[in-house]
Amino acid sequence: MDNHFEAGLDELRHKLLTMASHSETAVNRAVQALVQRDSALAQRVKDEDRVIDHFEVEIDDLVIQLLTKAPLATNLRLVTVAMKISQDLERIGDEASKIAKRARDLSMEPPIKLNLDLPHIAGLALDMLKTALDAFVNKDPVAARAVIPRDKEVDALNKQIHATLARHMVENPDTIGRCLHWMVASKSIERIADHATNVAEDVVYLCEAQDIRHTGVKSGIVA
C-alpha cells in the first residue's frame, strides 16, 4: 500500500481518538461543574468546546484529502465512518457545553432539594461512548453491537428524572426555573448516549459493511 496513504489513515485514527478524549473530558467536567456548582469549571468547558469544533474541521479536511486517493473496501468505510464519528463527537461536545451553561446558571441560584444522581446517568452514557470507541480501535463489531441496547436504560433514567422534576415543579412552583435547567442537562446526557449509539452503529458498518441504522433492531443483535 502507498505508505503516504497508510500514514494518512493512521493520522485519521489518531485525530479521532484525540477528539474523543476531549469530548469525554468535556462531559465529565460539565457534570462535575453541575454537581459541584462550579461556575469557573463550567466556563472552562464552554471555552474549550472550540477545540473539539476545530478537530471536526481538521478531520473533515483529512477525509477529503484521503478520498482523493480513491480508497476502496475497508479503507473507504474507515474514511467515511471517521467523518460521521467526528460529527457525533462534536455534538457530544455541544451537549457538554449545554450542560456547562446550565451548571453556570444553577450555580448562581440556591440548590434545589432533590437527589437526581446525574453523575450516574452521565457515567452510563460515557461508558457507552468509551465501549464504542474501544470497539472502533479493536475492530470489534460484537462489542459495538452490545452498546446499542444500553441506550434504553439511559432513556428510562432520563424519563424518571424528568418525571421527578415535573412533580417537584408542581409541588414547588418557585423552583420551576431551576428544575428546567436540570431537565435540559438530563436531556443532554440522554442525547450523548444517542450519539454513542450512533458511533457503535458506525463501527458495525466499518467492520461488517452492514448498515444497522434505522432497522428497528434496537438490540443491535444480528437477526
Q: Which residues bind another protein (CB under 8 A)?
A: 1-2, 5, 70-77, 209
Residues 114, 196, 91, 213, CA torsion sign: negative
Question: Closest CB to another protein among 80 and 164?
Answer: 80
Degrees (nearest 5) of the Cα angle 31, 159, 108? 35
Please enumerate in sequence order all residues whose Cβ is within 8 A of that of 100, keeping only pairs 6 or more positions apart, or say none: 26, 29, 30, 33, 34, 41, 42, 43, 45, 46
Q: Check if the beta carbon of residue 196 is closer than 8 Å to that of residue 132.
A: yes
CA atoms of 24 and 123, how far apart (whole Å) = 10
CB of 16 to another protein, least distance (A): 19
Residues in the chain: 223
Contact by Cβ (8 Å): 58, 13? no
Comparing CB distances to another protein, the nearer of 51 and 76 is: 76
Q: How far is the CB of 69 from another protein (least distance, A)?
A: 9
- Angle between helices 151-171 and 176-208 in degrees, nearest 10: 170
Q: How far is the CB of 76 from another protein (least distance, A)?
A: 6
- Of 182 and 205, the one with the shorter C-beta distance to another protein is 205
Instruction: Report in angstroms how near the CB of residue 201 gets to another protein at its nearest.
Output: 16
Nearer to another protein, 9 or 118 (CB): 9
C-beta of 5 vs 15, nearer to another protein? 5
Of 53 and 208, which has the nearer Cβ to another protein? Answer: 208
- Give me the least distance between CB of 75 and another protein, in Å please: 5
Q: Find the shortest distance in angstroms from Cβ 209 to another protein.
A: 3
Question: Following CA atoms 26, 30, 33, 36 in sequence, which dihedral angle do they give, to the nearest 10 degrees?
Answer: -110
